[in-house]
Amino acid sequence: MTTVEAQASASSLAVASARTRPPWWHRALRSRNLMIGIVIILLMLAIGLLAPVLSPYSPQKPDYSVIIQAPSLSHPFGTDAFGRDVLTRVMYGARIDLRVGITAVLSPFIIGTILGALAAYFGGVVETIIMRILDIVQAFPFIVLIIAVVAILGPGLNNMYIAVALTAWVVYARLIRSEILVQKEQEYVIAAQAMGASNWRVMLRHLMPNTITSSIVYSMADIALYILLAASLSFLGLGAKPPTPEWGALITEGQAYMTTAWWMSTLPGVAIVITGIGLSLIGDGLSDLLRPAGR
């Protein structure tokens, strides 16, 4: 049994056993992973939004009197080659990177869910066509395909969204397909069909609510992946352009001063790592929460 199938059968068990367990919010509050993860991400969001209040410095305006200064009390993350406060730029970067991660995950999630559901529910030619396209997209290394699309459309974060939408839906399509393949043989679905419910009604009212959870869990880790991707594209010169304080762009700017000013490239990376850990904890916590009791 593949992991995807295992998760599919696991969540069908979850439905059966849900009634005998404490309510979900009760278990959510007791899930340490989930709570720590949520706190980390909320903190990151708050830091991003409150950056103008929290920091006395501008993220963009150069100050040539303090160029390349090591971390100190007035500049905890040091300053860069233009005398800008690195911590301030990292704080403003939270706005960009969190938005990029969350925005990027939406379209593959929606496209993948629709195509995967269509493939599983209707089977036959529809399924064959969707699954063959999926095989083809998956033959390319993810980053190579993203780079190829960005090469065609031109650099920039907006084109990254398009590239991600075109390529990353395959994971969601696979997930939802394997879930629906399990669920569509269940009695409640057959009963709904027998009572004359339309395909759309069966799909939206009955199948979707029971199959979407594993995709939601996966999307948390995926947000982290897109933050890494946006950072990598900036590094390759295909993402955010200077002076945008995107975290990857900050690391890249600092790389040139690696030997003399270690803080410029290392400290912005810490923000990415903390955000990534927060999102993985939320993902782990959610999957524990949705896993059937006793396993």
Partner 1 sequence: MSRGGYILRRLVQMIPVLIGVTIIVFLMVHLIPGDPAAAMLGDQATDVSVARVHKELGLDKPLYEQYFYFMRNLAELKLGDSIKFRVPVSSILFERLQVSLSLVAVTVLLTIIISLPLGILAAIKKDSVLDNIVRSTLMVTMVMPSFWTGIILILLFSIHFRLLPVSGYGSNPVQHLVHLILPALTISLGLAPILIRSLRTSILDTFRSDYIKTARAKGLEERSVMTVHVLRNALIPTVTLLGISIGFLMGGTVIIEKVFSLPGAGSLLIDSVSARDYPVVQAATLIFALLVILVNLATDIIYSFIDPRVRYG
Which of 28, 235, 288, 291 is close enough to bind partner 1 by CB under 8 A?
235
Among residues 12, 58, 103, 280, which is the contact residue for partner 1, using CB under 8 A? 280
Residue 184 Cβ, how far from partner 1 at the closest point, in Å? 20
Among 4, 38, 111, 277, binds partner 1 (CB under 8 A): 277
Neighbours of 89 (CB within 10 A): 29
Residue 258 binds to partner 1 (criterion: CB under 8 A): yes
CB 78 within 8 A of CB 235: no
**Residue 36 interacts with partner 1 (CB under 8 A)?**
no
Give yes or no for residue 168 binding partner 1 (CB under 8 A): no
Interface with partner 1 includes 224 (CB under 8 A)? yes
What residue spans of 168-238 are helical by DSSP H?
A: 169-183, 187-194, 199-201, 208-211, 213-235
Considering the complex, what minimum distance in angstroms separates the CB of residue 110 from partner 1?
22
Beta carbons of 214 and 175 less than 8 angstroms apart: yes
Q: Which stretch binds partner 1 (CB under 8 A): 22-30, 72-80, 114-122, 135-143?
A: 135-143
Cβ burial, residue 295 (10 Å; 0-12/13-18/19+): exposed
In the list 18, 29, 39, 144, the residue contacting partner 1 (rule: CB under 8 A) is: 144
When asked if residue 255 is in the footprint of partner 1 (CB under 8 A), the reply is yes
The size of the chain, in residues, is 295
Residues 6 or more apart whose Cβ sits within 8 Å of residue 17 = 292, 293, 294
Specify the residue, 47 or 224, whose C-beta has the smaller distance to partner 1. 224
Q: In the set 21, 30, 63, 140, which binds partner 1 (CB under 8 A)?
A: 140
Q: Looking at this protein, which amino acid is placed at residue 119?
A: A
Least distance from partner 1 to the Cβ atom of residue 130, Å:
13
Which residue in this structure is represented by tokens 């040539």? Answer: 64
Torsion of CA 232, 46, 221, 184, to 10 degrees: -140
C-beta of residue 130 within 8 angstroms of C-beta of residue 112: no
Distance CA 2, CA 102 (A): 28
Binding site for partner 1 (CB under 8 A): 132-133, 135-136, 138-145, 147-148, 150-154, 224, 228, 231-232, 235-238, 248, 251-252, 254-255, 258-259, 262, 265-266, 269, 272-273, 275-277, 279-280
